[in-house]
Structure 1
């Protein structure tokens, strides 16, 4: 029996991002605002000592230094409003001529959070507005319109400011891009995990169909024989009941093996995995219900990959089950052709004729065969013969073929 498919490695619950971005995006909504407020007030107060030409901090200046961090509380629920508010506060602060310093911290954090949240246009607009006001107050507006004289900055020094802004935006964009890639990777891993789970459920459904379909067909035939001979030939009826008991026990054992995979890979199988090594069991079971099976092998038998070995076994099992259900034949032939080193040819021939009427079954046996064979690149043909019989012919790749 094929082992359960391995599960993908444990996934991270959330995409990675720098600590300051995580703090800005989620958690500490008030704590971060307090930290930034202390940074802006203390840092700007220290920087003001070296800027005597700027307007000294007054009540309005300190209020602006505190309003910006306070707006960061909205950064998660209203990122656009946080960008707009911090940008407006920064613009008022610059126009008022207060000292330069870490007043830009709250604005930068709000822009980075907006980029992370997908509102890139808001972040870019906020950056452009603040930088435009900076250019106006530095190079365009007359000095008598300003509360503080323009900074002695030449045009080439503006490259430093532009580089700083581009660096901030680039870091935010890189973090956003990395987060999107990680999120896409996690989504892919989740889809892969779900697909593998679906494939495992389909594999188990096919296994259970083949096991129960084959076993119940034999049980149905033997039960009919037992009922018919119960009064006239009790010894043969006893043999039919013994066959039912043995078939039921074997079927229960295989069902336990299939369902045991739900407990995980550590669940040890209780019996040998189905394969061509158990072909004699199939012929014996068929013989109990009056179907004589002849096995013909051409070439030297060799080892098969577990999946191919199981598939070959299930094909023979399903084909013989269909003979019991749908054919009046009391003979069938199984041919195993090993002459091709790259493939194994499995052929089951039912000489017919077919049984008229509904013989039971779900009608998905041939579809299950095709799914099994197609899963690893094999081919299968199934169809009626001119004499009224039926033939199943499958070509299964071997280890040599898989290695090419």
Structure 2
């Protein structure tokens, strides 16, 4: 909810509350026959007390002062009393929940409580019972409101901290996926260039050009990921990679020397942007793992398709990476599993039955799930 929308809700609530207190004052005198009949001045005090709540977000201290001040004046004139207490206590809640500094709101709440208790007694004479009752209720409401506000603020802080951690993890995953793939490609291309630099310099030049292109793409994607920390910018508004970019990804991987078969069968189904971006990252990291671990001569097969409201992703290879003893899933696979779970999907990866490595992920497409 925006600040403007919140202010509109507060204004509407204040009008309804003021109207309610003004109407109830006509019936309050039935239980207080000795009270002064409501007059235009008394109704004006009730309305002002209620309307003070319209400013509870912008200036809770002023709201409290205005609400309690009009309530004390109303009681001092001996108008029928109970509706005005609602306005005073509403002002108290606005003060305690809206002012964070305890050293500020405690003195105001104390003075307000004393003023309300005193105004309940005169001018016919001191009335200890109602005065003590108002003082006790006022103190109890203050303590409960302070406790509730403290809990609410703590939960808000924990939620904000959780969002920060989640955003850090998201940026870390983005950087890992971008840098891991790019560095693996650069490493393979550099190896090709070193091998060919003497005998076939033209092909070595092509490898160097590929390294330059991969490096530039990696820098652009890294800047886009980090720009979120610095704030909105032209880079942060760049669209993330999606399924439509798989062709370029596979071309880059093939240029690095890895054989890749790609099959994409989406039919006419529209793929949500977040699912499309997640699917791209999964394929990217899976192919990166093949380049890093499958060994020379390995070949990867990638299939992306839709099945019963799910986007299915399969990446398999015939390499030797899964057979290396002592190798445990790295940060990449953990990051991919987190990506899949973040959008409501699941991911499984491990050695294939006939050798090599296989990765399977399924991501929900929405309403058909």
Query: Normalising to structure 2: TM-score of the pair?
Result: 0.64
- In the TM superposition, 1:284-303 aligns within 5 A as 284-303=251-270
Q: Is the alpha carbon distance of 1:267 and 1:297 closer, same or farther for their aligned partners in structure 2, counting shifts above 3 Å?
A: closer
C-alpha contact 1:15 1:183 (8 A) present in aligned 2:
no
For the pair 1:333 / 2:309, whether they are aligned, the reply is: no
Q: 2: distance between equivalents of 1:201 and 1:372?
A: 13
**Closer, same or farther: CA 336–361 of 1 in aligned 2, 3 Å:** same
TM superposition outliers: structure 1 runs of 4+ over 6 Å: 12-17, 110-113, 355-358
- TM-superposition CA deviations, 1:103-156 (whole Å, max 9, x none): xxxxx948969xxxxxxxxxxxxxxxxxxxxxxxxxxxxxxxxxxxxxxxxxxx
Rg bigger for which structure? 1
Provide the residue aligned with 2:333 in structure 1: 366
For the Cα contact (< 8 Å) 1:215–1:247, is it kept in 2?
yes
Who is 2:156 aligned against? Answer: 189
Contact 2:227 2:233 (8 Å CA) reproduced: no
User: 1: distance between equivalents of 2:328 and 2:179?
Assistant: 10
**SS state at 2:182 partner:** helix
Tell me if 1:277 matches 2:250. no
Change in CA separation of 1:235 and 1:374 when aligned onto 2, cut-off 3 Å = same
Distance in 2, Cα, partners of 1:365 & 1:216: 14
CA distance in 2, matches of 1:232, 1:362: 39
Q: 1:349 to 1:15 in 2, by over 3 A?
A: farther
Equivalent residue for 2:280?
Answer: 313
Is there any run of 5+ residues in structure 2 with no aligned partner, and where? 7-56, 69-101, 115-124
State how far apart, in whole Å, the 2-side matches of 1:377 and 1:177 are: 39
Q: Using a 3 Å threshold, how does the CA distance of structure 1 residues 334 and 109 change in structure 2: closer, same or farther?
A: closer
In the alignment, the residues of structure 2 paired with residue 266 and residue 325 of structure 1 have an alpha-carbon distance, to the nearest angstrom, of: 34
Q: Distance in 2 between matches of 1:373 and 1:188?
A: 27
Q: Label 1:189 to 1:111 Cα distance change in 2 as closer, same or farther (>3 A).
A: same
Query: Where does residue 210 of structure 1 map in the other structure?
Result: 177
Q: Which whole-Å deviations, capped at 9, do the CAs of 1:53-110 have from their partners, x for residues lacking one?
A: xxxxxxxxxxxxxxxxxxxxxx97xx9xxxxxxxxxxxxxxxxxxxxxxxxxxxx948
Q: Is the 8 A contact 1:327 1:354 kept in 2?
A: yes
Q: Which of the residues 123, 126, 133 maps onto 1:166?
A: 133
2-structure distance, mates of 1:216, 1:110? 67
Root-mean-square deviation (CA, aligned residues, Å) is 3.9
Q: 1:286-328 CA deviation, whole Å, 9 max, x = no partner? A: 1101112212234515332222111100000000000000003
Asked if 1 retains the 8 angstrom alpha-carbon contact of 2:188 and 2:257, the reply is no
Runs of 5+ unmatched residues, structure 1: 1-5, 23-74, 80-107, 114-156
Report the Cα offset of residue 271 of structure 1: 4.2
Tell me by how many angstroms 1:272 deviates: 3.5
Q: How far 1:285 moved relative to its partner?
A: 0.7
CA contact (8 A) 1:283 1:292 kept: no
Matched residue count: 272
* Superposition pairs of residues 144-163 of structure 1, within 5 angstroms: 160-163=127-130
- For the pair 1:180 / 2:147, whether they are aligned, the reply is yes
Residue by residue, what CA displacement relative to the aligned partner does 1:158-213 show, whole Å, maximum 9, x if unpaired?
9x522220111101211222222222222211111111111001100000000000
| Offset, 1:372 | 0.6
Q: Partners of 1:308 and 1:226 in 2: how far apart?
A: 37
Q: 1:235 to 1:355 in 2, by over 3 A?
A: farther
CA contact (8 A) 2:298 2:317 kept: no
Structure 1 CA distance for aligned equivalents of residues 175 and 368 of structure 2:
29
Residue aligning to 2:52:
none
User: Is 1:304 equivalent to 2:271 in the alignment?
Assistant: yes
Q: Does 1:398 align with 2:357?
A: no
